[in-house]
Amino acid sequence: MNAKTYSKLLPLLLSIVVFLAMCLIGCQPASLQGRFRSVIQVQDGRAIVLFGVPTLIDMESGERIIPAREFAEIIRMCGDMVLVSEYGVAGIREYAIIDIESREEIIPFGKYDSIRLIGEGFAVIGDREENPYTGRVQIVDRAVIDIASEEIVFQLNTNEILSLWGRSVSNGLVVVDSTLGRGVVDLNQEQGHLSETSLIRPGRYGNIGNIYDGLAVIAESTIPRIEGTGVVELSSGRELIPQDTYRRILMMQDGLAVVEYLHRFSCERGDCSSDDWCDEEVSFGGFVKTPPRHRCGWYSYLQGVIDIVRNKEVVPIGKWDEIGEVVDGIAVIYIINPIEDEPGSFTRETALIEIDSGEIIVPPGVYGRINLFEDGVVALFERGGGRFDTIESLRSYYAVSE
């Protein structure tokens, strides 16, 4: 390349360098606003999105509140606070909780070996310890603290309480693992022993799963996977849905629950072996479908949505192959299409439906992935090898009644 050609290309090269530098510090062209590799969390008009690295944005303006690479990781929001991490001495990850707008460290880096933000002003702190059996360094949870005061609300890994189960708190309630089994504790009550603060004493049920809005998933089974489930109202102890009604209750939201039944394929042949392929149709609740070709004796899971208080189906079990998130009267559904001449193979399409009417809002096949968030936000993943999510309001797809 001669000097004359180089001189002509120099301004263009400088422009490219400046553009890349702006990208690194968080200044993206307007055309890229709202398009991300994935959406991690949505809360109060803000979103943690992944665009190469985690970034916190204002959803209305697209402005980057915390630009990419300001911290090693932006983990989770809670009100006007956010949990972040960075690498300290010897590359060891350190955690802090900061004020989103001012960047003031509410809990500074390095104060605790580990911090997990569980919501509603609470966090779990832990210590880094060497496992005496493996010699590996691991994090051991020590306590639940009130973030504002840093006072210990509940001790963990004691002779009585082992750990917190799950990743979040609901109206001050958490599920704990104890030496006697799982129980439910109200963190807003006065500090005390498990017997003084528990809403459900450990051992009362074989297992306890997710809790939401004063309700808890309960099960007879004590195996790690929560199966044979029902729902209990925590304030009264009344079982709204008896145990063992459904195989699993996958999620609860706004008084609704996604439930699952189990169907075992028999092939209806006495000589059927586990190596045989069969095309048995599944008939349940008036719906008949032929799933991907399956082995004799294999299982299929039939899902639907119920009104918890009435224990009534609002999305009939078996109508759709799978059901995802349920928010503001809208549900994500999945449709599985068997591939001809390819036993056990299938394609999977996603769509949005309005629960009360059953109307399809976003037809299957338009987007590769759809995720709903509690703030009435939908993240749509493009089909055809697209790599970006687009954040939209549910109201742009359907006029959800107030």
Closest to 169 (Cα-Cα) out of 214, 203, 208: 214
The answer to whether the beta carbons of residues 391 and 34 sit under 8 Å apart is: yes
The answer to whether the beta carbons of residues 96 and 81 sit under 8 Å apart is: no
The answer to whether the beta carbons of residues 261 and 302 sit under 8 Å apart is: yes
pLDDT attached to residue 194: 58
pLDDT attached to residue 149: 93
The answer to whether the beta carbons of residues 94 and 84 sit under 8 Å apart is: no
Q: Which two tokens stand for residue 399?
A: 């006029």
pLDDT attached to residue 21: 40
Q: Which residues contact 13 (CB under 8 A, 6 or more apart)?
A: none
pLDDT attached to residue 268: 52
Question: Hunting for tokens 């915390």 — which residue is that?
Answer: 66
What is the torsional sign of CA 287, 288, 294, 296? positive
C-alpha–C-alpha distance, residues 354 and 394, integer Å? 11
**Backbone phi, then psi, for 21, in 5-degree steps?**
-65, -40
pLDDT attached to residue 7: 45
pLDDT attached to residue 385: 53
Q: Which two tokens stand for residue 165?
A: 């189960």
C-alpha–C-alpha distance, residues 321 and 348, integer Å? 9
The answer to whether the beta carbons of residues 108 and 85 sit under 8 Å apart is: no
pLDDT attached to residue 225: 63
Per-position pLDDT tens, the chain of length 402: 554 444 444 433 433 443 344 344 333 322 233 567 788 999 998 999 887 789 999 888 888 999 888 999 999 999 999 999 999 888 899 999 999 999 999 999 999 999 999 999 999 999 998 888 888 888 889 999 999 999 998 888 887 777 888 778 888 888 988 888 888 888 887 554 555 556 788 878 888 988 998 999 998 876 656 678 899 998 888 999 998 888 889 899 889 999 988 765 555 544 455 445 455 555 544 444 544 444 444 556 788 999 998 889 999 888 888 999 999 899 999 988 777 777 667 788 999 999 999 999 999 988 888 889 888 888 888 776 556 677 777 766 654 433
The answer to whether the beta carbons of residues 127 and 107 sit under 8 Å apart is: no
pLDDT attached to residue 59: 84
Exposure on the CB side of residue 68, measured as CA atoms within 13 A: 16
pTM across the whole model = 0.77
pLDDT attached to residue 190: 53
pLDDT attached to residue 31: 27
C-alpha–C-alpha distance, residues 385 and 46, integer Å? 27
pLDDT attached to residue 11: 39
> In b/e form, how buried is each residue of 111-127, taking b as 16+ CB within 10 angstroms?
ebbbbbbbbbbbbbbbe
